[in-house]
Structure 1
């Protein structure tokens, strides 16, 4: 390869060195005085100051547009938000008419889109927090509606409403939500057998049976009249069992998210990874981290407000609609609280992602039975309310039979539309039973 050398004259070199020294002295501050040279150089930088107002206005424009885009995504994009005006209408009816039947109905409808948007905001936030914290967020906010309603009812001393609404959430998730998901997925994918991770289903079934055991012993202790201290032993046993159940649920979260992560990886996720599907592109977040937190806080506050009106209207609605309080608590309230789970479980089942469907339906039932119910007992203990795990024989028997039916449905690791139809029909039997069930009063239950 030919190399070409250039010769620079010495005079040119000295001239360049002199220019560099002059520039260096000017940059060190020697030329920045009141001389014409300094004024000329400063005038050369004056145009930079005019950039800052433009940049600030552009930043405000970006922030304003980002705020409007977030409102559009969360409020206007989802079609279910057409039901949002029912919430303010319920508040107006509460103060103008006082008709508890209409207030209860409008509040019930108004909470449905809020429950769905709570699930959406939690899902968006989980994109930024990672799988471990995301799982904890789903455990905390996935059943936020049920928790808020239960806290208001517990504060008002409506212990039976708390017990029956939480029990109804478990029954609704295990029978109605899972049944509709299996039925829809089976119809869409009728030409093949849908499969899911059987190991995760077995562990969740075991936890549900543990919850049944925690609820059964206080009821059996009470109705067999075998307490050491009548009326107080079941309360002490309930509080002790609740603490044990909370420890078991915390251990389950650690086991699922840390200890056995590979065991619980969804089958559909492994299949898509083998096909080269990029989940980050498919499930990219639509709103930012702080927008997710802000919307989560705003939606929780609005759900809390509407839950107060809902709880206050339960007894009046029971008289106005000629429905038992047990039917309203076990059937109607959980349908509202499980609106988000219902929609997402069906959607994932139709996409042949049954592992996510089971995580939504059975996982939510596990959260309620092993976390929300004992948590309400502990909170009632702190508040001085005698909230216990004695759900009465009828409710406890309903839960026990439901857990057995679902456990047998899940033991093969497959799903089809016939299994879904059976679960839906079982839920109709449960709903009809609670419609005809008369909840015993406190005095009758002590005899």
Structure 2
């Protein structure tokens, strides 16, 4: 009895005014609820209290893990190296990048340098996507999707800038075009097909409104490419060779403004929907699936910087070896630029889209594939035009008739398949077969201007 009384007196000392235990539990419950920004209207009362209790503990566990890293710097570095360098089986290809540099300096045989560089970039692109996903754990869903799309396209943009600096404008145009075609047909087709096969459903559903907006942006990008191409092929420019370039630069600025408005709309809409607060609930739900961050925010940022620099170094050798590889393999530069380069650059998007579709998270798959295509068409292409303008390179939106027609038909096919908000394995197979047709077309395509002259790259 004495011990009970002592315990009771100790508990009364915990709060001013000698409040009882019921009051103390109520105050603690309110404090727990205040730590999470989740609306109580979306959950039941009992479920809300339980979820908020777990959600308030989850960040502390992660923060505790980061504090251990801070307390033991060497452990944090080795842990991060182990995750990035040893977790993926594709990392066995990393030495190919070093071997490509050695072969380039010893022999200069571009027939070997090009494939070795391609193989060396594949694991770096995949790890770049992994680091982006780790960073996305600390942001809202919208910002995370934008990060995935941006760094997923980083490989193609880096290759394009190196080619632009070397004056290989057709390689820039065709690699950017190939990235869009690859995401819309190959990546999305594989995601639809794998999701339809593994999920055990006749059809999978996704957010139709978001797909419609993305399709509209893709059609706007095609509209930006059509006028310079038509002007060039109909010889109807007011000032031959100058009007099309000026129109391309003007249209590129308009497209960049449109993409900036789209980003602002998405971010403002996510704030109105409370997605930045709901990310805690999403992380809570993923905790049972072991989908927690494996590194801290600053470690992810550091790896993003390191991988981007290394990809940039290899991209320089890759661009220099394109012409030699085309001659050594006896295949067109157009096929290398439109098919081979984007497949390597889209390795991370391909794996992520298929993985999400197999988990019946088709909205995430669409965000990866369609989001990357939208960003490349509305930001990547006009960005390269503006950068070429600054470099003094006549980069324009005249993608030649064959490429522009291929992009237009691809966007129309994808838009029609997305309009009902459902997907199945047949739709995925159709998109994949369409990509095979496009790939075969570029293999037999002769890259010529209206006068029948081959560009210097071919």
Instruction: Calculate the aligned-residue CA RMSD, in Å.
Output: 2.5
The residue aligned with 1:411 is: 419
Deviation readout 1:285-338 (Å, 9 max, x if unpaired):
111122111111110110000000000000000000110000000000000000
Q: Deviations over 1:53-98 (max 9, x none)?
A: xxxxx98972111111100001101111111111111111111121
Match in the other structure for 2:187: 177
Which stretch of the first structure deviates more once superposed, 141-150 or 130-139? 130-139
Between the aligned partners of 1:396 and 1:210, the Cα distance in structure 2 is 13
Cα gap change, 1:434 to 1:146, in 2 (>3 Å)? same
Structure 1 partner of 2:333: 325
- Offset, 1:137: 3.0
93-102 or 255-264: bigger deviation? 255-264
163, 173, 178: which is aligned to 1:153? 163
Q: Distance in 2 between matches of 1:193 and 1:421?
A: 14
Q: Which runs of 4+ in 1 moved over 4 A?
A: 58-61, 260-265
Q: Does 1:278 align with 2:288?
A: no
- Asked if 1:226 is matched to 2:197, the reply is no
Cα distance in 2 for partners of 1:328, 1:264 equals 44
Larger radius of gyration: 1
Shift of 1:208: 0.2
Worse-matched range after superposition: 114-123 or 196-205: 114-123
1:141 is aligned, of 134, 138, 151, to 151
TM, length-normalised to structure 1: 0.82
Aligned residue number for residue 352 of structure 1: 360
Q: For 1:264 and 1:222, how far apart are their aligned partners in 2?
A: 48
Alignment partners' CA distance in 1, 2:270 and 2:293: 27
Identify unmatched segments of 5+ residues in structure 1. 1-57
Task: Select which of 50, 73, 83 maps to 2:93.
Answer: 83
Q: Check conservation: 1:131, 1:257, Cα contact below 8 A.
A: no
| Aligned pair partner of 2:258 in 228, 243, 248 | 248
| Alignment deviations for residues 92-116 of structure 1 (CA, whole Å, 9 cap, x no partner) | 1111121111110010011011011
* CA deviation profile, 1:394-416 (whole Å, cap 9, x unmatched): 00000000000001111111111
Judge conservation of contact 2:208–2:421 (CA < 8 Å) in 1: yes
- Aligned 8 A contact 1:199 1:263 in 2: no
Structure 2 residue ranges without an equivalent (≥5) = 1-67
Write the mapping of 1:28-427 to structure 2, written as runs, cut at 5 A: 62-131=72-141, 133-259=143-269, 278-279=285-286, 282-427=290-435
Q: For 1:302 and 1:238, how far apart are their aligned partners in 2?
A: 32
Partner Cα separation in structure 1 for residue 428 and residue 273 of structure 2: 26
Aligned residues: 386
